[in-house]
Amino acid sequence: MAKTHKKPKPKAETPKGFRDYFGADVAARDNMLRAIGGVYHRYGFEALESSAVETVEALGKFLPDVDRPNEGVFAWEEDTGDWLALRYDLTAPLARVFAQHRNDLPSPYRRYAMGPVWRNEKPGPGRFRQFYQCDADTVGSASMAADAEVCAMLCDALEAAGIERGDYVVRINNRKVLNGVLEVADPDKTADHNAILRTIDKFDKVGKAGVRELLTTGRKDASGAFIDGVGLGADQADPVIAFLTARGETAAETLANLRGAVGNSEVGAIGITELETIAELLSAQGYGPDRIIIDPSVVRGLGYYTGPVYEAELTFEILDRKGRKRQFGSVAGGGRYDDLVKRFTGQEVPATGVSIGVDRLLAALHEKGRLANAEAGPVVITVMDRDRMADYFAMVGELRGAGIRAEVYLGNPKNFGNQLKYADKRGSPIAVIEGGNEKDAGIIQIKDLILGAKLAENATLEEWKARPSQFEVPRGDLVARVLEILANQRADTP
């Protein structure tokens, strides 16, 4: 007989850049999505769940070419020759949905959406290729009130998600102001505007003097290497620096400084008026500079923004992997994108919205120790006699009927120690024991595992005796005593 070659076993591994989420992590994200979604809903936004898969052409931005059609997205070719892809954000699908269903949707269309998005990027530590976003957008409103509302709602959403006031700030800027500054700095449009934008983005790192050098003749960096300048003249750099350093004590002061920076640029003046309107509306609602500030140094990366842009940043410090303090940074961003629906319909449809990076927010709460690492496990009914499973099932049925999370141990019951180890691993609050003797006597043993663990750790002999962690109770008192112990455990939790 010929030898049969066995196929090699598949590897039990998530693909690189993907991960699994267990128990407490799933619950924490679920709670956060529900909290944020609750705020969006109360603000009048309506839920939308679009499919995870879109045509590559509808997603846009990533255009097919011959070799690797879809850098940045996960894409594949259909039998029909069409290319499909996993969505990389929730905004591109919204533009498609609005264009497709615009005759049936109310206008303005206010929608929120939450779910995973996928990026075909190189994975790295803490960088995953699937992560959750939670977005809210208003499509069909050109009013700055829509932008102001989104910023206010973002504050409320962050607080609902567990970020305390003072631990975050929402920073607002406007692309039009930036365009105005560039008009003034470079009226002949000879300079490389992208290089100027990249330089502006370095303000946090290199400061005012550094940016001035980079905008003009160049700069020696910390390592001694020389970085070429953008080549603006000193007087051309002035409005850019004025823009970058425009932030004053108050919104009014910042706006006055910006007015200086844009000179007589028309688009710049429009941008400043827009920021002014937003600031007024926010201030009227009590969203002051402790929560929202106008900050000209905000430059959002996405190319489709056409007006106000915003970013939420956590202001508390965390320790990085080398133990150095750093600010946690951005957890949400958004802005106005008036041309995204136009791609489909040819007609301009103004739109603005925000996206919260839920997984980053969860990571921040983890770092701050504000998320539970484990959930409470179920009450475990141990199995002393495998022929009496029906008795144990009757018990667990009573507990579940009273709304208590409970289960019968379903592993091999031979080794009782394994059953208690299992209960421990599950974080079970209580174990219930009914052997043959107990059955005959009409009683059960109830072990308070939380108290037991506490006593085992640091109790004196007196405490141990004074507060037993195992009780013998009549079988009929099962539910009442379990409820009582659970209530005591809750009361004991700091």
Residues in 156-215 that interact with a copy of itself by CB under 8 A:
none
Report the residue from 107, 327, 470, 488 that binds a copy of itself according to the rule CB under 8 A: 107
Residue 343 as a binder of a copy of itself (CB under 8 A): the answer is: yes
Please give the structure tokens belonging to residue 490.
């809750």
Interaction of residue 448 with a copy of itself, rule CB under 8 A? no
**Pairing, β 130-139 against β 109-118:** antiparallel
User: Among 90, 91, 96, 448, which residue sits at the site for a copy of itself (rule: CB under 8 A)?
Assistant: 96
Is the CB of 141 or the CB of 174 nearer to a copy of itself? 141
Which residues between 49 and 88 bind a copy of itself (CB under 8 A)?
49-55, 57-58, 60, 68, 74-76, 78-79, 82, 84
- Interaction with a copy of itself in 399-438: which residues (CB under 8 A)? 400, 403-408, 410-412, 422, 425-426
Q: Which of 64, 127, 145, 373 is the binder for a copy of itself (CB under 8 A)?
A: 145
Q: Please report how close the Cβ of residue 216 comes to a copy of itself at its closest, in angstroms.
A: 35
The single residue among 31, 100, 245, 489 that binds a copy of itself, judged by CB under 8 A, is 100
Neighbours of 395 (CB within 10 A): 20
How many Cβ atoms are within 10 Å of 461's Cβ, its own excluded?
Answer: 7
List the interface residues with a copy of itself, window 20-49 (CB under 8 A): 20-23, 25-27, 29-30, 41-44, 46-49
How many residues touch a copy of itself under the rule CB under 8 A: the total is 96
Residue from 66, 284, 461, 491 that binds a copy of itself (CB under 8 A)?
A: 284
Strands 83-86 and 53-55 come out as: antiparallel
Residues 427-460 as b/e (b if ≥16 CB within 10 A, e otherwise) read bbbbbbbbeeeeeeeebbbbbbbbbbebbeeebe
> According to CB under 8 A, which one of 32, 87, 88, 129 is a site residue for a copy of itself?
129
Q: Sheet containing 53-55: which strands, arranged edge to edge?
A: 53-55, 83-86, 75-77
Given a contact cutoff of 8 angstroms between Cβ atoms, the answer to whether 177 and 275 are in contact is: yes
Distances (CA, A) of 30 to 22, 33, 139, 285: 12, 5, 27, 30
Q: In what helix (H) or strand (E) does residue 240 lie, and over which residues does it extend?
A: helix 234-244
Element (H, E) at 74: none
Q: Min. distance of Cβ 86 from a copy of itself in angstroms?
A: 8
Q: Which of 81, 124, 346, 442 binds a copy of itself (CB under 8 A)?
A: 346
Q: Cα(159)–Cα(143) distance, rounded to whole angstroms?
A: 25
State which of residues 35, 72, 121, 143 lies at the interface with a copy of itself (CB under 8 A). Answer: 143
Residue 464 in contact with a copy of itself, rule: CB under 8 A: no
Binding-site member from 72, 116, 248, 289 for a copy of itself (CB under 8 A): 116
> Are the C-beta atoms of 235 and 216 separated by less than 8 Å?
no
**Is 5 an interacting residue with respect to a copy of itself (CB under 8 A)?**
no
Q: Which residues of 290-323 are buried (b: 16+ CB within 10 A; e: fewer)?
A: ebbbbbbbbbbeeebbbbbbbbbbbeeebeeeee
Residue owning tokens 């925000």: 354
Helix (H, G, I), strand (E, B) or coil at 17: coil
Least Cα distance to 430 among 384, 386, 385, 489 occurs for 489
Among 281, 294, 331, 432, binds a copy of itself (CB under 8 A): 281
Q: Tell the smallest beta-carbon distance from residue 456 to a copy of itself (Å).
A: 20
CB nearer to a copy of itself: give 280 or 317: 280
CB under 8 A: which stretch of 13-21, 165-173, 231-239, 477-485 binds a copy of itself? 13-21
Q: What is the 3-state secondary structure (H, E, C) of 446-490?
A: EEEHHHHHHHHHHCCHHHHHHCCCEEEEEHHHHHHHHHHHHHHHH
Residue among 110, 171, 212, 447 that touches a copy of itself (CB under 8 A)? 110
* Per-residue contact flags (x/-) with a copy of itself for residues 216 to 245, judged by CB under 8 A: ------------------------------
